[in-house]
Structure 1
Amino acid sequence: MNNRTQWMEDLQKNISDLIARSPAADVERNVRAMMTQAFARLDLVTREEFDVQADLLARTRARVDQLAAQVQQLEERLAALDAK
């Protein structure tokens, strides 16, 4: 049984070595390089950067809404003063 196990391990190692030296390894490296270049040109952002910007946008939107409400109140007060 040990001899059969050793034979399987040797076969697996030989197949792994063959694949590592085959054109498939070169194709994988070339595809990775092409994809990396393509992603670099797309101006992609990380999830962390996206989340930071989404949080900033939400806080900015809340502040704009608050200021809009204040402007509305001031306009109403001004209209009330003009009506007198």
Structure 2
Amino acid sequence: MINQAFLQGLSDQLGQLMSKAPGGNANLQGQIQGVLQGAFSKMDLVNREEFDAQSAVLARTRAKLEALESQLSVLESRIEQADKQ
């Protein structure tokens, strides 16, 4: 679920920042990656493909809903006209 390349890049960047700090630890990068991976795995995240697929489903559902609302409006107007006669 979590993109390992993203985690590695983030870990590298944090490691570079920490190595510039006094007392930088060579093992720190691995620890940072572990902490980040643990934190991200606890989050309820989806990847871009899943998000795009669900967005497409939502768009189709919204279009169907709008069509049904339009049909309902037409039917309601027909009922109103029939009641007036």
TM-score normalised to structure 2 length: 0.69
Higher fraction of helix:
1
* Offset at residue 81 of structure 1 (A): 0.5
Superposed CA deviations along residues 53-84 of structure 1, whole A, max 9, x for unmatched, are 10000000000000000000000000010010
Paired residues for 1:37-48 under 5 Å: 37-48=38-49
* Offset at residue 52 of structure 1 (A): 0.4
- In 1, distance between residues paired with 2:43 and 2:62? 27
Three-state SS of the structure 2 residue aligned to 1:43 is: coil
What amino acid is aligned across from residue 40 of structure 1 in structure 2? Answer: S
Query: Which has the higher relative contact order, 1 or 2, with Cα contacts under 8 A spaced 6 or more apart?
Result: 2
Greater C-alpha Rg: 1
Structure 2 unaligned blocks of 5 or more: 1-24
Structure 1 unaligned blocks of 5 or more: 1-22
Q: Where do 4+ consecutive residues of structure 1 move more than 4 Å?
A: none
What amino acid is aligned across from residue 40 of structure 2 in structure 1? Answer: F
What amino acid is aligned across from residue 46 of structure 2 in structure 1? Answer: V
2:74 is the counterpart of 1:73: yes
Q: Percent identity?
A: 39
Paired residues for 1:3-18 under 5 Å: none
What amino acid is aligned across from residue 81 of structure 1 in structure 2? Answer: A
Partner of 2:14: none
- In 1, distance between residues paired with 2:32 and 2:66? 48
TM-score normalised to structure 1 length: 0.70
